[in-house]
Amino acid sequence: MNRLVAFPLVLAALTFSNAALANYGSAGCGLGSLIIKDDNMLQLFAGTTNGTFASQTFGITFGTSNCTTGGIVRADKEQEAFAEANLDALRRDMARGQGEHLVALASLLECEDEVRTDLYAFTQDRYESVFPSEDTTALQALYMLKIQLSQDPTFVKECGRI
C-alpha cells in the first residue's frame, strides 16, 4: 500500500480510538479536537483539520465541537426566551431603570458589573425607543435595545453578548 495512503489510515485509527477521551489541545476546539488526541505532534493535524473544514468558526458560533457550552446562537435564543417570558416585567423594570428582571437581562447580555448601573439608566432613557407602542413584541424590544447598545462603545466593550 502506498505510504501516503497508509499513514492517514493509521493516524485515523489511532486517534478515533481515543477521541472520546480527548480534550482539545493547543489547536483549539473544532472537528480536529474531536478526532485528534491531545499530543503536541498531532495538534498540527487537528489545527489543519479545523482550518480545512472551518469547524472552529461553526463550533464557536453554535456551541458545538468542544468549542463552548453556549455559542452566539444559543445565547441569542436564551435572551429571546427570557424577553418573551418576562415582557411585562422587563417593560416595568426598564421604565423604572431598576429591578430584578433588568439585572437578569444584564447577566444574559454578559455585561460587566462596572457598567450595569449605566445599563439600567440607559434602558430607562431609551424606554420610548425600545417600546415605541403598546404592541411592541418582546423580540422587537430586545433587538431594538441591542441595536442601541451596540452603538455605544462602552457597552460594546463591557457587554459580551449584545
Mean pLDDT to the nearest integer, 95-119: 96
Residue 28 has pLDDT above 60, yes or no: no
Residues contacting 83, CB < 8 A, separation 6+:
90, 105, 138, 139, 141, 142
Q: Using the predicted structure, report yes or no on whether residue 11 has a pLDDT greater than 70.
A: no
Print burial letters for 111-142: b (CB count within 10 Å at least 16), e (below 16).
beeebbeebbebbbeebeebbeeeeeebeebb
Q: What is the mean pLDDT of residues 140-149?
A: 96
The torsion angle over the Cα atoms of residues 117, 156, 111 and 87, rounded to 10 degrees, is 80
**107 pLDDT tier (thresholds 50, 70, 90):** very high
How sure is the predictor about 15, in pLDDT bands with cuts at 50, 70 and 90? very low
Radius of gyration of the chain (CA): 22
Sequence ranges of the domains in the chain: 3-62, 72-158
pLDDT value at residue 76: 86
135 vs 40 pLDDT, higher one: 135
Instruction: Name the 3-class secondary structure at 159.
Output: strand
Residue 9 scores a pLDDT above 90: no
